[in-house]
Amino acid sequence: MVAEKYIDGDLWVEIDLDLCTAEGECVDVCPEDCYEIIEGKANAENIGTCIECAACDGVCPNDAILNHCSW
């Protein structure tokens, strides 16, 4: 598994780059623009803007996103 982990305080998101096919559901559902597609993979560099709404939880059709919020 090749994964990228994005951390801001207690929040973190890990994206399995092997599973990510850049479908964009994470980008579309996030109200705070935490996610973007860069070079054909999801990216969560903006994790600091997360409001912990959990909209992204389970939205990836390939289960490439693992997130941990304080909820």
**% of the chain beyond a pLDDT of 90:** 76
Fold of the 3-68 domain: Alpha-Beta Plaits (3.30.70)
13-18's contacts with Cβ under 8 Å and 24+ in sequence apart are 13/44, 13/47, 13/50, 13/56, 13/65, 13/66, 13/67, 13/68, 14/65, 14/66, 14/67, 15/41, 15/42, 15/43, 15/44, 15/64, 15/65, 15/66, 16/63, 16/64, 16/65, 16/66, 17/41, 17/64
pLDDT in tens, 28-60: 999 999 999 999 999 999 999 999 888 888 899
The domain spans of the chain are 3-68
What mean pLDDT value characterizes the chain?
92
pLDDT in tens, 5-28: 999 988 899 999 999 999 999 999
Is the model more confident about 1 or about 62?
Answer: 62
Give the pTM: 0.88
